[in-house]
Structure 1
Amino acid sequence: MGAGAALAMPCIGARAGTRPFTLMTNWYAQPDQGGFYQARETGLYRRAGLDVQIRSGTPQLNAPQMLLSGAVDAIIGFDTQVILQRAKGLPVKAVAAIFQQDLEGLIAHTDVNHPEELRTRTLLLAPSSMAAYWPWMKQRFGFSDNQVRPYAYNLQPFVIDPSVAIQAILTAEPCDLQRRNVPFRFFTLADYGYPPYSGTIVTRDDTLTQDAGRLRAFLKVSMEGYRDYLLGDPTPGNNAIMRENRLLDATHVACARDALRRSNACFSGDAVQGGLGIMTAARWQATARMMADTGQIADAAVWKEAFTTEFLPTTPVVP
């Protein structure tokens, strides 16, 4: 659906005119976040009565801490992170999932046919990955801690060393390696049973009660923005992404968007009927059970407090 087809939103409360609704992303501007930029650049937010600010995340910024402090209204977070925070009694909650599967995985050289074959290789992982999915990978594939070295988001160690594998996200490292004509294999964690969603929108408990109108409006229009970005003309969103992240060019952005479209991560699974952003109790329960099984949490029942679908569009946003 084009930007002009967005429906007018109902009154979203007095707070709408007092300050912007601020979203902090999980990384520098990327096509993964394209729906938010598309909604901003095409005027979807504005026509819904929203002033939305998008702040790029960086490795130096602690997005969950900024959310809890009230510096931002919502962040793009991780299911495992939300469950860990709820287990500690912190007042955060997931309200939507942009992608129905996790986009992360491992990149290996072409002689590797299955992740289990990486047990004897060096794995380059960032601290965030160690916290999120490393416990699951160790259990699932039989990896060990002594295999791991820090990942500095530099592809050169992989390019020059056939014994190295690296963490990757569908829309980043594969595009960079393709551009350099470096052969590789990409193993998406979701294909091997990793249950979390990706692109999870997280907010505070007080926002659910004190700013519910703006939150509902933000989620509805953001889902429309993603539909427009992935199925319509992505030029407005892409131009904004490249303005805010000068390290990306049109070739990379086009590759990343194409990867999202081919994966169908936004529109597959429960989103076929439930629409963009949908989440289910079964998926959150599966993620919590995985975390309990790997020793990350003591009580898997915490998943019940980790998410809500109450603020998703009443009419599902579907292709």
Structure 2
Amino acid sequence: MLTTTGAKKKIGGLTALLAVTLSLTACGSNNSSGDSKELTKVSQVTNWFAEPEHGGQYAALSKGFYEEAGLDMTIQSGGPGVSSTQIVAGGKAEFGMGQADEILLARQNGIPLVAIAATFQKNPQGIMFHKGQYKDITELNGNKIFVGSGVVFWEYLKKAYSLDKVTEMKYTGSLANFVADPTAATQIYVTSEPFSMQQEGVDVDYFLNYDLGYKQYGNILYTTEDYMKKHPDVVKAYVEASIKGWDYYKTNSEEINKVMQEKNPDLKLEAMAFGAKAQEPLVYGGDAEANGVGYMSKDIWSGLQDQLIDMGLLKDAEPIDDVFTNEFLPGK
């Protein structure tokens, strides 16, 4: 099974997909006093430890947006070996975060997830190289790239750009071998690894996979078909509060980064500041400029599905309207 890993994250995240029985929690109800409404207990699992890519979620939590929406929210951090798809499908969390291709591949594997918002209009996965080394990705032929085994976007790039003469080296999360080889390239998240190189005095540049034609949304918020149908009011409350959090994070990232650092003290505030700035056009640009954060296009989803079918990763196309919905976004 192929994975959607980029840079430091989620290697092998899709290899462990299992068909599971859905067991989802019920909504809260009014308490006996009639003076207030009980908060509905829900949780969401992210795709890594707390970082700027989750800024809107933590903003919504710390500023009380989830509570205002009637939700008693818990955020579970992802990390190595954590499969958010399994956790959500098994009912241990109502909401999850992942990549767009993960949603399509999960559905093929019997896990009926539905995307309910895209916090990134452009996925932040990319290919980093030493500055000035490459002007076109086809120039990677004859050189090394550090990449995870079976990474989906790399399978697409190999086929689309005839990268049959690239030497694939195992990606371990360390950039030491990349730094030592001025002709090498490596998979990254553009919100993270370039900062590490900046700190080490290594000049780099990168290709964004989205701009190379692998157009998938990043950090999709999702739930299961069953939960969405049974609790549309909770899903609506969750999405609207999350988007409110992202709108807040845009101009208050320094405040929320401090909140996230309490959850992930290994990530320095300087790195978070870099990530927040780097991801700004990816979150708030594109279709989000006219339609707001979270918006998803049928064309993007259909195009991604076609690419996965062309690569042999999906067997058949399914009605794309079953895969995602914008109906829970603010104003819908």
Partner letter of residue 142 of structure 1? S
Residue 92 and residue 123 in structure 1: after superposition, are their counterparts in 2 closer, same or farther (change >3 A)? same
Q: What RMSD in Å do the two structures reach over aligned CA positions? A: 2.0
Q: 1:72: which partner in 2?
A: 93
Q: 1:214: which partner in 2?
A: 234
Which residue among 257, 267, 292 is the counterpart of 1:248? 267
TM-score, reference length from structure 2: 0.85
Cα contact 1:102–1:194 (8 A) shared by 2? no
Distance 1:250 1:227 in 2: 20
Partner letter of residue 293 of structure 1? D
Cα contact 1:97–1:277 (8 A) shared by 2? yes
Deviation by residue 1:115-136 (Cα, 9 ceiling, x = unmatched)? 1111222211234xx3431221
Q: 1:4: which partner in 2?
A: none
Which structure 2 residues correspond to residues 161-310 of structure 1 after superposition, within 5 A? 161-230=181-250, 232-261=251-280, 264-310=281-327
Which residue among 89, 92, 98 is the counterpart of 2:119? 98
Q: 1:52: which partner in 2?
A: 73
Unaligned runs of 5+ residues in structure 2 are 1-26, 31-36
Post-superposition shift, 1:103?
0.9
Is 1:147 matched up with 2:167? yes
Which residue among 24, 29, 40 is the counterpart of 1:14? 29
More helix by share: 1
Distance 1:120 1:134 in 2: 16
Post-superposition shift, 1:238?
0.5
Distance 1:108 1:57 in 2: 28
SS at match of 1:217: helix
Greater mean deviation of Cα atoms: 291-300 or 168-177: 291-300
Cα contact 2:39–2:71 (8 A) shared by 1? no
SS at match of 2:284: coil
SS at match of 1:301: coil
Cα contact 1:21–1:53 (8 A) shared by 2? yes
SS at match of 1:133: helix
TM-score, reference length from structure 1: 0.88
Q: 1:126: which partner in 2?
A: 148
Q: 1:160: which partner in 2?
A: 180
Cα contact 1:86–1:305 (8 A) shared by 2? no
Post-superposition shift, 1:19?
5.3
Post-superposition shift, 1:25?
0.7
SS at match of 1:120: coil
Greater mean deviation of Cα atoms: 17-26 or 159-168: 17-26
Percent identity over the alignment is 28
Deviation by residue 1:168-219 (Cα, 9 ceiling, x = unmatched)? 1121101111121101111101111211111111111111022211111111
SS at match of 2:283: coil
Residue 162 and residue 292 in structure 1: after superposition, are their counterparts in 2 closer, same or farther (change >3 A)? same
